[in-house]
Structures are given as C-alpha cells and as structure tokens.
Amino acid sequence: MPFAKETASALGAEDIMKDAEVTDLFRRCQHHVDPQAYSQDILSQALDVTENVIRPQRGFVIAADGSSYEAAVSDGFPSARMGLLKIGQVWIDTAEYHKIDPRSGGEPDPIAIAKIEREKNTYSVPLTGAGIHLDGASPRESFRKSTFEAFRSKRFELLDVGLEHTLIDLLETEGRTVMLGGMRHVVIPGNRTCPITGEPLGQDVLIPEDKGEAPSPRAPNKSLYITDVLRLSEAFAEEGSNQQAYTRAMNAFEHLVLAHSIMRLDAAEHTRAILENSVFLVDGPLGIFGEPASLHRPIMKMIHRVRSRARGVPPLVIGVAKTGRVVEHGKLIQPLLMERFPRGRTVLLPISDAYRYRYIDFGAKNPESNFGNDTHYGQAFIVRSANDRIFELNIAYPFPTKSGDFQAMKIDLAAYGIDIGRAIGVLELFETELYEDANIVQHLAHRCASISHRPAGRTLDMFVRSIIGR
C-alpha cells in the first residue's frame, strides 16, 4: 500500500502483464455461455406475449427505491463514520398519467407533470458506524440502537401505525411471536448468538411490543431489541467501512416499506379500495439478502393473503432489475430475439432454474437446488419490450409458501393468471428513453432516493462533521 500522497508508478502494471502464469490463468477463465451455440434451445423457451399485455388504465403504481452513503466524521478521525440511508417512494395515479402521455392520446401539461412528481415520500435513516459511540455505547451496540430507533421513528408512520408494528405483524405470521398478558412478545430463540457478547443466548428471549427491548441473559445490564431479529449487526465492522451493513439495512428497509404500505392499506375497509388495480414496484429483484433474508417468507405469505381476499383486481407486486447476470444475459441474447421476434412484438422468457444454471449461473454449487429458496419471494423473467428493450422482471410468487415441486410451480405461467400481462403492461406504459432500459416510475423513485457522491455526498460529509466531528 502506498503512503499518504504517494503516487504509484505508471509502470506498475508491467510486471503483472508479463507474468506468464497470470496470462495462462486468464485464458482458462470463462464468464458467459455463447448463446449462438444454444440458440435453438434458448429461442424455444421464448414466448410472444404481445396479445397478453394489459396496460393499466386506473389504479396506483407505487415505486420504491433506496440509497446509502457513508460519511467520515473528521479528517483527523477518518475511521469514525456515519451511515445515512434514504428511501424514496412515489405514487402515480395511472388515470392521471394517461392524460399527459401522448401515446395514450393525452397532452403533456407541465402543471400536471409537476403534481405527479410531488406525490412522493422520502425517509431519511441515520445509522451509526465504526468508531461512533451513541449515548456512550460501543460502536456495535450503537449501530443496533440506531437501527431500533429508526424502526420506532414516527417518520415511517402510515395511518398512525409505525414500521416496527408492521415488522411484528410479519413475524407473527411466521409464529415468531407469543401472546403474554394481552401483549405480543417477539421471540428471539435461545440458539441464537447474543449480538452483545457473541455467545449463545442459551434461552428464548421474549421482547414485549410496547417497550421493544428486553435484557439479554448474557448481558443483563444491556438490551436486546426487537430489530435484532433482522441480525443486521452481524455484518457490522468495528473498524473500517460498513457499506455492506448499510446496503443490507437499505435492502431490508426497502422491502419492509413495501410491506408496510400494503398491510396498512389492507387493514381497514375504507383504505382497502386503494389496493384495487394497484401495482407496487421495487427496484431490483424480489428478494432480501444477507442476514435479514428470512423476512422474505412472511412477506410472501402476506402478499398472497392480501391478494386472495382482495375485491376486484388484486394488487400486484413486481421488481425490476436494471443490472445483474440476468440483465446481462438478456442483452447477450437480444440479437437472437430480434431475429425471431420483430420489433413491435413483446417477448417473455421465463427463467427456470434449469435455464438459469445452464446459461446464466453455470457452474453453480448446487444446480439441483431451488434458486432463491432462502431469499426470494418472486420469480424472474426476461422481457424484451415492443420497443426492443431488455428488462429483468420479477413477479411475486402466486403461492403462500414454497412447498411441493416448487421449481416447476414457480414457472407455471397459468398460476400467474393475468399478472404477467399486467406487469409487462406497466413496464411498457412507463418506458422512457431518458435512460437505457428505464421506466418513469422507477426513475422518479430513484431520483427522490438517490444520494450522489458529488456534490450531495460532500454536503453530507460537511453536515456530519459539523455535528459530530467537533
């Protein structure tokens, strides 16, 4: 590693490039399967679904996105850092959007456009990092406490119900709560490691809903929090960057805000009507990764329960990924699709596990396993839009649990009914040429959630330093 302000040699790469072993290893590496060699098999699985596309005429499209930033609190203490998350959510009334969309016969109206852009919510979440002591606690305990306080914050309240309540509702569907004295208690199993000491808890810990915390049997003078069920502190680093922990937290917050919106609207008769014909769009796949991944199971159950009792057209939950292996594969086979399906036709390619392990994630550790078994609550499809754009579309599984021959069930298109046509209809209605393979609602959500590293990041650095870095 160079010293501070020391510049590296311009010829530093020359030795690497001349090393025969390095070159030999590179030549043995492969990063994708040539689609031309398997074109017939690939094309045989692609479907022309042009006639099945259903463009929404009414209802809301609600999109969510998130971003994170890590700020150093002082030049003199570069290892002391704070994390800042921002979650954005936009609501677009489809009927109002048609009025300004020329493709629907509408006329662009700056006032109406500005009104649509104002229908948004942003949530700012501060999380402590390495070298930070919140109320005198250690950095790891500070991170846990700041996470707990974020869930209890009024900023997430919807219809007077907070995000912590929604988290407990989800845990209840999984049997991870008990009722004592007329109050729900979250159960942290005794076989879990104590997040304070690192030792096994040794006994179940019951955390009451009202207080949200209870003493740890391994550290009686310190608290376990309800949010410890998410295990986010396991990714926390006492020294150095905590970008991974913040990314995990952001991923969990994005999906919990989605669940929060659905569950709170579904809770009362007078708000349940809002869910009819609505579409909830998440940036990225319908999956929760890392330590909080188990949360995907109750979210999957919740979506199925809400949809099964909905009146009229049930709400639809979709995810759209802009990057990743599936998108890269879609762009790789895009010329093949164009040869078979001309521009103007919409093409769907279901990503079965067999297809994924053969053409996308070849060399997977266990190619017989159900992909996303511990993380995902939605199925991936490649969509080539009528305008020849590639999307990775994820649609919530139409099942409450992953039982039976789930690998076959999740790609049974009949099980999705009109959901596939509705989802593609949203993509094609809100397609935009502003960015490659983008859609307007996702762009608006990203715009209100994004934190640019320049200049916004530097502004946040100055903001953090002005308060903490004294």
- Tell me the per-residue pLDDT of 272-310, one tens digit each, with 9 for 90 and over: 999 999 999 999 999 999 999 999 999 999 999 999 998
- Tell me the per-residue pLDDT of 352-411, one tens digit each, with 9 for 90 and over: 999 999 999 876 667 778 999 999 999 999 999 999 999 999 999 999 999 999 999 999
With a CB cutoff of 8 Å and minimum separation 6, the contacts of 20 are none
Q: Is the pLDDT of residue 458 over 80?
A: no
Output the DSSP codes for 292-304.
GGGGHHHHHHHHH
Question: In terms of Cα–Cα distance, which of 325, 316, 340, 319 is closest to 47?
Answer: 340
Q: Is 424 helix (H, G, I), strand (E, B) or coil?
A: helix
What are the C-alpha distances in Å from 72 to residues 126, 391, 457, 463, 467?
Answer: 13, 36, 11, 10, 12
Please state, rounded to an integer, the average pLDDT across all residues of the chain: 87
- The more confidently predicted of residues 255 and 434 is 255
Mean pLDDT of 126-144: 95
- Tell me the per-residue pLDDT of 8-45, one tens digit each, with 9 for 90 and over: 666 667 777 877 888 888 888 777 777 788 889 999 99
- Tell me the per-residue pLDDT of 388-404, one tens digit each, with 9 for 90 and over: 999 999 999 999 999 99
Upstream peptide bond of 285 is cis (omega within 30 degrees of 0): no
Check residue 290 and report its DSSP letter.
S
Q: Which helix (H) or strand (E) is 221 found in, with range?
A: strand 219-225
- Tell me the per-residue pLDDT of 411-422, one tens digit each, with 9 for 90 and over: 999 999 999 999
Q: Which helix (H) or strand (E) is 214 found in, with range?
A: strand 213-216
With a CB cutoff of 8 Å and minimum separation 6, the contacts of 467 are none
What are the C-alpha distances in Å from 220 to residues 31, 215, 261?
Answer: 51, 5, 36
Q: Which residues pair with 158 in a beta bridge?
A: 161
For 74, phi and psi rounded to 5 degrees? Answer: -165, 145
With a CB cutoff of 8 Å and minimum separation 6, the contacts of 50 are 344, 345, 346, 386
Rg (CA), the chain: 24
Q: Is the pLDDT of residue 446 over 80?
A: no
Q: Which helix (H) or strand (E) is 460 found in, with range?
A: helix 458-467
pLDDT of residue 325: 92
Q: Is the pLDDT of residue 431 over 80?
A: no
Lowest mean pLDDT among 3-7, 155-159, 432-436: 432-436
Q: Which residues pair with 71 in a beta bridge?
A: 82
Is residue 422 left, alpha or beta, with left meaning phi > 0 and alpha meaning psi from -120 to 50?
alpha
Torsion of CA 317, 287, 145, 465, to 10 degrees: -90
User: Could you identify the residue written with the tokens 């935009």?
Assistant: 432
User: Cβ of 328: how many Cβ atoms within 10 Å?
Assistant: 14
Q: What's the distance, Cα to Cα, between the start and end of the chain in Å? A: 30
Output the DSSP codes for 373-407.
TTTBSEEEEEEE-TTS-EEEEEEE-SSSS--SSHH
Output the DSSP codes for 328-340.
HHHHHSHHHHHHH
Q: How far apart are CA 50 and CA 317, in angstroms?
A: 21
**Structure tokens of 460?**
């946040």
Q: Which helix (H) or strand (E) is 164 found in, with range?
A: helix 163-173
Are residues 206 and 219 in contact, defined by beta-carbon separation less than 8 angstroms?
Answer: no
pLDDT of residue 322: 84
pLDDT of residue 160: 92
**Structure tokens of 25?**
């290893």
With a CB cutoff of 8 Å and minimum separation 6, the contacts of 140 are 195, 196, 233, 236, 238
Q: Which residues pair with 92 in a beta bridge?
A: 61
Question: In terms of Cα–Cα distance, which of 141, 133, 136, 298 is closest to 213?
Answer: 141
- Tell me the per-residue pLDDT of 60-92, one tens digit each, with 9 for 90 and over: 999 888 889 998 887 666 688 999 999 988 888
pTM of the predicted model as reported, rounded to 2 decimal places = 0.88
Mean pLDDT of 203-227: 96
Question: In terms of Cα–Cα distance, which of 327, 317, 341 is closest to 416?
Answer: 317
